[in-house]
Amino acid sequence: MSQDESDDPSLPRKALRTVTPPSQGHRDTEMDVIGWSILVGLLIVALPLLPVLVIVWVLTRLFDRGADRATD
């Protein structure tokens, strides 16, 4: 059951030819700022809704528990 290395689908079949030089990894500060801004915006919107969601969750649990007792 040994496979040839040439049959392995994870190996590239030929080298990638490109005219651009390979770039080194670097921090992208602008995208970091955008990502953090989106996170802060979502938190500003979501945090005021959190108490409402908790109240709805608690009421749902209470009504489900009451409905289960009524059917017993």
The per-residue pLDDT for 8 is 65
Q: Is the entire prediction scored with pTM above 0.75?
A: no
Within a domain: 69: yes
HEC string of 13-61 equals CCCCCCCCCCCCCCCCHHHHHHHHHHHHHHHHHHHHHHHHHHHHHHHHH
Q: Could you report the average pLDDT of every consecutive run of 10 residues in the chain (72 residues)?
A: 59 73 84 96 93 95 82 70
Q: How many domains does the chain have?
A: 1
Within a domain: 58: yes
5, 11 contact by CB (below 8 A):
yes
Within a domain: 70: yes
Which range marks the domain in which residue 53 is found?
A: 43-72
Within a domain: 26: no
The per-residue pLDDT for 68 is 74
Within a domain: 31: no
Within a domain: 11: no
